[in-house]
């Protein structure tokens, strides 16, 4: 990276025109991607922020209203409900799927009979469309006829409307998402485990350390960077996972399962309120950028260590 | 690698694997049996393909398949071409503003088109593209992730090879095509698998911008078909569900290792 560029101008007869020519070439190559990025990422971000500061009158004219839309949002109980749901959704899915992922990776990394099959079984849900997964699980949760209620029936219990009751709906969706995601997180642990030196395990075994002790004091701390990495990614992902809501609950009952992105979708396309949808989107953008900065900051540190 | 695996652990690992496959196994089972058996398990239940036939006839799944294939191919080609050119610009040329330009590209890693649905819908509307397959594809054609991945790969390519090509009189585009692209093949494969899986499965954005059979991809078609108010039999819906995920599932079973590695690279970035 260093040094090479400094020797170039000395030998080049026309350094200035060379630099100019480089820039023209580079920008021409960048142009198609730049236009599309500007049109569908940069401009929409700016337009969303601008929109959130305006109010659209019935005749179509826009009036600057400052933070009025945000005040309205702060007074909207559904917004808060969605945000709190996002929190519980993340808390419900992430630690459990990370723990399961680690367990799966430890197993698959061992000399266990049929490890190829085990890895396949754990990872398969990752490649399925969320909408297909939701369809399958929807049936498990169907009142009376669904698998869960049939199991309850074996114990003489009455049917339960799993997705129709505010007390159980979130739990049901969380279980489904854990099933969908654990195998995906597993592969990161698997990659990390394969980088660990086998000497560590052997040394611990020679010292007479128990397997649990080895895991707790050696393996798990060494996997900490992976855990942090997976956790941040999982949080980011949890804000984007809303496909299942469209066919399973529509955010209901009484918004018990709604999430921020799903609420944005509803406000924009069911209630047709583009201004409020923009205001809500700004909140999501702020959350996602904060998480991304956290992630990049952390990644940078890891690169410096190497 | 640990040689000692306790039998109880092995059993637990297997039980978890079976539990993990159970929902999928159930979907296959119920799609291959008459509707009466969807809710009552019985080993003697007769096997049938009737559900698949009826699902296929009750909704234009053939058309949905074609739409999805067109969509993922369109997106993949666009992404590969645009990101190759952009990554090459960032690797080969030193120019003013390249740092800022790259940062602006990376912004898309933080804020994906998936969350900009409101404004993007408006833009697609202004372009007069609503309810078309290009409308689904457009926001994804420039992929920051692909640019990032390829730039990393391009940077690792030995400068001697580039110099050799230049000495032979190859211009910038020839160098790209003859040196960089062939050597970055593993990266292209990894990215392609992730991109195809992602867009085969993508749902919310296609749901928003499509409104008719002619443009709907499989996922949206499945959601429309399976909506409770249509009153379609459960077994038929599972058959449709299996049809939606089958191509990707088969590809995954065939190229398992490649898939796992690609997803890993995609996640690590």
pLDDT tens, residue by residue, A163-182:
888 888 999 999 999 999 99
Instruction: Kindly state the helix (H) or strand (E) to which residue A56 belongs, with its residue range.
Output: strand A54-56
> Which of A:136-155 have CB within 8 Å of B?
136-137, 139-140, 145-147, 150
B positions 182-221 inside 8 Å of A (CB): 197, 200-201, 203-204, 207-208, 218-219
Asked if B263 and A187 come within 8 Å (Cβ–Cβ), the reply is yes
CB-based burial, B191-210: b 16+ in 10 Å, e otherwise: bbbbbbbbbbbbbbbbbbbb
Give the pLDDT score at A281. Answer: 96
Of A19, A179, A183, the CB nearest to B23: A179
Give the largest Cα separation in chain B, rounded: 74
Q: Is A177 near chain B, with CB under 8 Å?
A: no
Closest of A96, A284, A89, A119 to residue A191, by C-alpha: A119
Output DSSP code: residue B38. Answer: S
Closest CA–CA distance from residue B3 to any residue of chain A (Å): 6
With a CB cutoff of 8 Å and minimum separation 6, the contacts of A236 are A288, A291, A292, A295
Q: Are B190 and B262 in contact (CB under 8 A)?
A: yes
ipTM of this complex prediction, to 2 decimal places: 0.90
For residues B170-183, b (16+ Cβ closer than 10 Å) or e, as one string? bebeebbeebbbee
Most confident of B8-17, B63-72, B236-245: B63-72
Are B249 and A124 within 8 A, CB to CB?
yes
Domain boundaries, chain B: 61-268
The answer to whether the CB of B72 falls within 8 A of the CB of B200 is yes
The pLDDT value recorded for residue A1 is 39
Per the prediction, chain B carries an average pLDDT of: 89
Show residues of chain B in contact with A33, CB under 8 Å: 82-83, 85-86, 105, 142, 147
Domains along chain A with CATH numbers: 4-51 (no CATH), 70-305 (1.10.3720.10)
Coil, strand, or helix at residue A54?
A: strand
Average pLDDT over residues A292-300: 75
Dihedral of alpha carbons A38, A41, A46, A47, sign: positive
Candidates B223, B251, B226, B228; CA nearest to B237 is B226
Residue with tokens 């919310």: B204
Q: Per-residue confidence at A210, pLDDT binned at 50, 70, 90? A: confident
Contact (CB, 8 A) for A124 and B252? yes
Lookup result for tokens 């009142």: A143
Given this model, what pLDDT does residue B268 score?
Answer: 62
What's the angle, vertex CA B20, arms to CA B17 and CA B25, rounded to 5?
Answer: 105
**Chosen CATH of B61-268 out of 1.10.287.1080, 1.10.3720.10, 3.40.80.10, 3.90.550.10:** 1.10.3720.10
Give kind and range of the element (H or E) at residue A273: none
pLDDT at position A29 over 60: yes
- pLDDT at position A27 is 92
CB contact A128 to B (< 8 Å): yes
Interface check for A191 against chain B (CB to CB < 8 A): the answer is yes
């Amino acid at each position: 990276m260093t040094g090479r560029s400094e020797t170039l101008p000395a030998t080049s007869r026309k350094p200035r025109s060379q630099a100019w020519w480089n820039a023209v070439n580079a920008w021409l190559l960048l142009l198609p991607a730049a236009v599309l990025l500007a049109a569908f990422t940069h401009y929409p971000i700016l337009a969303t922020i601008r929109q959130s500061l305006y109010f659209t009158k019935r005749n179509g004219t826009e009036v600057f209203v400052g933070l009025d839309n945000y005040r309205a949002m702060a007074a909207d109980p559904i917004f808060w409900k969605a945000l709190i749901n996002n929190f519980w959704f993340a808390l419900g899915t992430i630690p459990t799927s990370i723990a399961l992922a680690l367990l799966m990776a430890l197993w698959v990394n061992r000399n266990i009979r049929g490890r190829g099959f085990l890895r396949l079984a754990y990872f398969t849900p990752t490649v399925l469309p969320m909408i297909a997964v939701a369809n399958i699980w929807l049936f498990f949760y169907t009142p009376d006829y669904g698998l869960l209620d049939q199991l309850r029936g074996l114990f003489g219990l009455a049917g339960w409307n799993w997705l129709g009751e505010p007390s159980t709906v979130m739990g049901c969706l969380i279980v489904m998402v854990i099933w969908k995601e654990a195998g995906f997180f597993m592969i990161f642990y698997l990659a990390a485990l394969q980088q660990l030196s086998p000497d560590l395990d052997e040394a611990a075994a020679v010292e007479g350390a128990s397997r649990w002790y080895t895991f707790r004091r050696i393996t798990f701390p060494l996997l900490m960077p992976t855990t942090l990495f997976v956790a941040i990614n999982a949080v980011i992902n949890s804000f984007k996972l809303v496909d299942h809501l469209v066919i399973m609950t529509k955010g209901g009952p009484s918004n018990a399962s709604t999430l921020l992105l799903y609420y944005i979708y509803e406000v924009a396309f069911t209630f047709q309120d583009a201004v409020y949808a923009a205001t809500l989107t700004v909140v999501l953008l702020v959350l996602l950028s904060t998480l991304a900065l956290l992630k990049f900051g952390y990644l940078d540190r890891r690169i410096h260590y190497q | 690698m640990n040689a000692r695996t306790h039998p109880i652990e092995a059993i637990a690992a297997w039980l978890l694997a079976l539990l993990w496959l159970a929902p999928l196994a159930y979907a296959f089972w119920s799609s291959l049996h008459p509707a009466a058996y969807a809710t009552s398990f019985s080993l003697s239940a007769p096997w049938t393909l009737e559900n698949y036939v009826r699902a296929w006839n009750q909704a234009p799944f053939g058309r949905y398949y074609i739409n999805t294939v067109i969509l993922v191919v369109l997106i993949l080609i666009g992404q590969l071409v645009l990101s190759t050119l952009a990554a090459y610009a960032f690797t080969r040329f030193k120019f003013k503003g390249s740092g800022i330009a790259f940062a602006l590209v990376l912004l898309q890693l933080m804020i994906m088109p998936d969350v900009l649905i409101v404004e993007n819908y408006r833009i697609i509307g202004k372009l007069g593209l609503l309810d078309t397959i290009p409308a689904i594809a457009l926001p994804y054609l420039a992929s920051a992730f692909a640019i990032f991945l390829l730039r990393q790969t391009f940077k690792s390519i030995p400068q001697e090879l580039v110099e050799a090509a230049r000495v032979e009189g190859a211009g910038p585009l020839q160098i790209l095509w003859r040196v960089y692209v062939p050597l970055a093949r593993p990266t292209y494969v990894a990215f392609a698998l992730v991109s195809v899986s992602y867009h085969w499965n993508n749902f919310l954005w296609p749901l928003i911008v499509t409104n008719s059979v002619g443009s709907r991809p499989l996922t949206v078609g499945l959601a429309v078909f399976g909506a409770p108010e249509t009153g379609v039999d459960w077994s038929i819906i599972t058959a449709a569900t299996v049809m939606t995920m089958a191509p990707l599932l088969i590809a995954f079973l065939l190229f398992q290792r490649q898939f796992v590695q690609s997803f890993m690279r995609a996640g690590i970035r």
